[in-house]
Structure 1
């Protein structure tokens, strides 16, 4: 029989923050620099009745803390904070509002929307200036005291080298909601993430990492619920340490750990999309659920001289103040917790430029970046930034510090426009295919820093990119005003009138050909490729390019479609391309190439050619009407396990070879014939997007001087050559390298 809980708290300790059970009781610790008192509230097992309320007895260095003996695992709790309610000075304390612990590890119950959730009187003529005195506890979830022990056995991170990484971006819920072969109660949860049939799908493709959209607990937007919609994507964080409760089939945290362990056993890493730029509390008219009520002036960036208002570099109403040491600590503690407790392998930072903002704007040496990159736990996981935000000078692609990879939207836009046939894209495409050296080749960064993608959760799917001229977001209830209008898409019908599904054979064939060319460009370019879940079989969102609120079949993956005969050709193409990428690129030198080295006689490490087999002249590069391009790359093969090319000896050693590839791209409306550049090599066909089923019999070329490339297609040729006697050849003519792209 459990011992009765004490009626007052002992002093306890200020660290670690949150609620920590030691077998005999729980130590509570929470930060607030401006509160005058903080109470801990305990609740009944169903969370409906407050059974105890006691003030935290000590405050050490602005950390309020206390130890309560005999508290059992599974106990529910929350905080109430006392202090001034002075919005004009940035203070919004209201002890009538139950507050979530920012370090809560698990939540019990959902948010039940009510006017009581707001710290001010909603109907007051003075807006947010008059405090509301209703108790919000009946509408609030409660934090749970948890035991985080788990037997990890021999779990080891796959530790896939960046240059071999292939990312698959997916939504945890959407992955399995339409899986008929998964029990209904497991669909949409972590339990389904480790289903062996799902893992087999990833392994057949050649994926090495799954990047999940936010799995932190989220607050469902009131305005969406009132319209019968839901925040599906989840960029509205309610708790940074707790998973979204609806993603746990069992209600137990171990479910996540089992899923991660099975992914690791299959050699697949897990990367979490995380939202540390803002919280779910919105602007000054938003609800009070945690940080705002605990210490609004510390947790958020407020407008200087008008502390009632919030700096809004995120477009979501508020911006976390990562320049504050305790806020920075919370973010780092959260990241470290997911690595140490759940063994995740990396993070993708939503609106990452916000995290690097100091008083004078973005700084690659900001407190956040410096603290993260020196952290003994976090510095060794994969770090990816979405390198922009909505504030001044918010676009920071290529400006993040070494150690980070960055979403490269210039790759997305350029590749889309090139294959659509837009004028003047050759020079820009040349830079994107070669790892975007113009953006990333500084401070000893590597090509993997460019996260290349054609599609992502935000925007068209691949199928929609080649099936719709314009967005069709009517289902979102905003009269099709939401979502970008600049999609660089085409419906590829003869006269542009066939939007979406069609039975026209010519249109379907053209769409399929362009989709294969887009996918091949992504998977054969230098950099880290990211696939969007379902693109490998042609998933459609019916032209919706902003499906953030579509928690239904519009966004979920249709696995019946994936198993259909119509989906198999594209599935096969993606698998073959990724196998080709592994074979041709994984063992090549992981360095930027600039045409200054010659791994083999007469073969620069990178070179560009026109149809005539000659390097483009400056006038040719500038010609906006040319829609063809040839890219040749030569690299010394690496021995397995090496990350640098073998040093060339004075005389070539037996068995050493140089890998040479020639990528021929034709975005025009008519077929093109390429003269293959000198020197002549024993070229073989590696891939032809116009006939992706070409087999071994098609590999030797009947003519190694000419290669036909059909319209809207690309061809990859491969050959091997002997290494150069000298490691460093004289610089190749600058005309061999791609020009710097114009702004």
Structure 2
């Protein structure tokens, strides 16, 4: 079904096809600069198509449709577009009925399809994932050429690759590089979206982040792969930037909103993503679009995918661990060996589903984050930490742990801010500090925020090392957010999605090089060892208290730490009194 949708160049032209059930008429709109040429399309079932001789790769185009509830004044982006001629920009006219939007909407650009079979993934569970916000990562990097800063190509720079190798990165996880539109409340605040979790169509690369298009993507992925580093894309299939009923009409809403978006029995848009709409993955047409997107990026060479608010993929309307999309991915010859990572929650009813995704799927483990933070804050217990460190057997069944362990991620405090702020400081976001979570399991060592007190700074440095050492000593896949290895701060902002500025950019010139060296040492100690894997600990594991005595049920209560011995492999010692974690290889 998917093969006939989108723009497919052939020797003498291009075949265009788009789905719209309610349309009574549809037009392909070709663009030469600002000049628009409309060509009537023919209907075959729900699919409208037309072949255009003489117009091939590089042709700019969009669609218009007419019918009940549809507005032919709105130029629509092809849901299967892979390249756009410019970025999306919010404008109130995009949501105004009857106003022509051809001058406002990016044009899709016909491209040759990626057809090569992808190589096997480099990344294997148990390695280190390094989460990157592409624009903020290199915007201030002194070694990256100015014209490359803030782009995907910057990740292929030798200085960047050398850093990734030094700290043991097995795969980079790229926050969205697909084109997005700003939420409509940001422009009046003088802000813009910096994270990209508001896409319009799922395959079109953002021209600002990836100005070189598909070639830049494939070349960057290949350069990382040549250095032994895999690539994971963070993709958003839970909603689109067309938002709620007052949002813009850009693509799916203008083609068939009842098909693509989930509605409640009274006809209202369901909002399980907290963004105004959610995609309806219970429909085969929506899943076809999702799977086509995954195949497209797999052919670009990426190792796998992280799914934002992944619970929505399996709603129908409640979460179903046997939802069709899981079987379809597992059976797909292009996708079956890719790495799949779920963010196992959404904001809808019953949305928290940690541990319930299919065998083989990795899952972000926020219980790990919170329990590790609480232990080092002083109000968590050693037994819970031991469970988290050894793979979270209370959450994940099966032959191996599926946990992705992390102590900080993009949506929350940075690691450094976790030990410097007891409360969020999001005033810069323009929402009177109402946005962002209030449940951070953080602490400030007696002084909120920045401090000149040597004792306070010393405690914070020790705490940062304890958190990082715990992470690198933990069983299963581990994840580090870019910059946390050298103490980056966002000034206590735990929701910096709208800070495309110094708050959200990594400052490479002021990094803590001692902490960076410490992380490199941790990576070297972990590499190839017993904790770098996803298998459960064997029966030979020995648990001792911090004084070297065997742990008993009674001794776990109130324990200030423990020692885990894996004979012939390693010893891990956690001591809260000393604020220290050590990993010693046998």
By how many angstroms is 1:620 displaced?
3.4
In the alignment, the residues of structure 1 paired with residue 502 and residue 424 of structure 2 have an alpha-carbon distance, to the nearest angstrom, of 18
By how many angstroms is 1:627 displaced?
2.2
Secondary structure in structure 2 of the residue aligned to 1:591: coil
Matched-pair contact (CA < 8 Å) for 2:114–2:296: no
Q: Alignment partner for residue 553 of structure 2, among 596, 608, 618?
A: 618
User: How do residues 287-298 of structure 1 correspond to structure 2 at under 5 angstroms?
Assistant: 287-298=248-259
1:715 aligned partner: 582
Q: Alignment partner for residue 29 of structure 2, among 41, 47, 50?
A: 41
In the alignment, the residues of structure 1 paired with residue 358 and residue 310 of structure 2 have an alpha-carbon distance, to the nearest angstrom, of 12
1:429 aligns with 2:411: no
Residue 715 and residue 504 in structure 1: after superposition, are their counterparts in 2 closer, same or farther (change >3 A)? Answer: same
Secondary structure in structure 1 of the residue aligned to 2:500: coil
Matched-pair contact (CA < 8 Å) for 1:14–1:29: no
Q: Alignment partner for residue 523 of structure 2, among 578, 594, 614?
A: 578
1:591 aligns with 2:535: yes
Residue 157 and residue 174 in structure 1: after superposition, are their counterparts in 2 closer, same or farther (change >3 A)? Answer: farther
2:286 aligned partner: 327
Residue 454 and residue 579 in structure 1: after superposition, are their counterparts in 2 closer, same or farther (change >3 A)? Answer: same
1:71 aligned partner: 55
1:117 aligns with 2:62: no
User: How do residues 92-491 of structure 1 correspond to structure 2 at under 5 angstroms?
Assistant: 93-118=70-95, 121=96, 132-148=97-113, 156-157=119-120, 159-163=122-126, 165-249=127-211, 251-304=212-265, 306-307=266-267, 309-340=268-299, 342-359=300-317, 361-423=318-380, 425-442=381-398, 444=399, 446-447=400-401, 449-491=402-444
TM-score (norm 2): 0.96
Matched-pair contact (CA < 8 Å) for 2:476–2:531: no
User: How do residues 667-682 of structure 1 correspond to structure 2 at under 5 angstroms?
Assistant: 667-668=576-577
Matched-pair contact (CA < 8 Å) for 1:157–1:269: no
1:607 aligned partner: 542
By how many angstroms is 1:357 displaced?
1.3
Q: CA RMSD of the aligned region, Å?
A: 2.0
By how many angstroms is 1:364 displaced?
1.4
By how many angstroms is 1:573 displaced?
1.0
Residue 110 and residue 577 in structure 1: after superposition, are their counterparts in 2 closer, same or farther (change >3 A)? Answer: closer
What are structure 2's unaligned runs of at least 5 residues?
none
2:473 aligned partner: 524
By how many angstroms is 1:65 displaced?
1.3
Secondary structure in structure 1 of the residue aligned to 2:130: strand
Matched-pair contact (CA < 8 Å) for 1:167–1:530: yes
By how many angstroms is 1:612 displaced?
4.8
1:512 aligned partner: 461
By how many angstroms is 1:584 displaced?
2.5
Provide the aligned length of Structure 1 versus Structure 2.
586
Deviations 1:596-629 (A, max 9, x none): x3xxxxxxx22322345334333333x3x43222
By how many angstroms is 1:31 displaced?
1.3
Secondary structure in structure 1 of the residue aligned to 2:374: helix
TM-score (norm 1): 0.76
Residue 592 and residue 14 in structure 1: after superposition, are their counterparts in 2 closer, same or farther (change >3 A)? Answer: closer
In the alignment, the residues of structure 1 paired with residue 496 and residue 259 of structure 2 have an alpha-carbon distance, to the nearest angstrom, of 34
In the alignment, the residues of structure 2 paired with residue 181 and residue 514 of structure 1 have an alpha-carbon distance, to the nearest angstrom, of 30
In the alignment, the residues of structure 2 paired with residue 617 and residue 370 of structure 1 have an alpha-carbon distance, to the nearest angstrom, of 43
Secondary structure in structure 1 of the residue aligned to 2:384: helix
Q: Select the structure of larger CA radius of gyration.
A: 1
In the alignment, the residues of structure 1 paired with residue 532 and residue 520 of structure 2 have an alpha-carbon distance, to the nearest angstrom, of 19
What are structure 1's unaligned runs of at least 5 residues?
1-12, 86-92, 122-131, 598-604, 635-657, 669-710, 720-743
Secondary structure in structure 2 of the residue aligned to 1:371: helix
Matched-pair contact (CA < 8 Å) for 1:58–1:66: no
1:53 aligned partner: 38
Secondary structure in structure 1 of the residue aligned to 2:108: strand
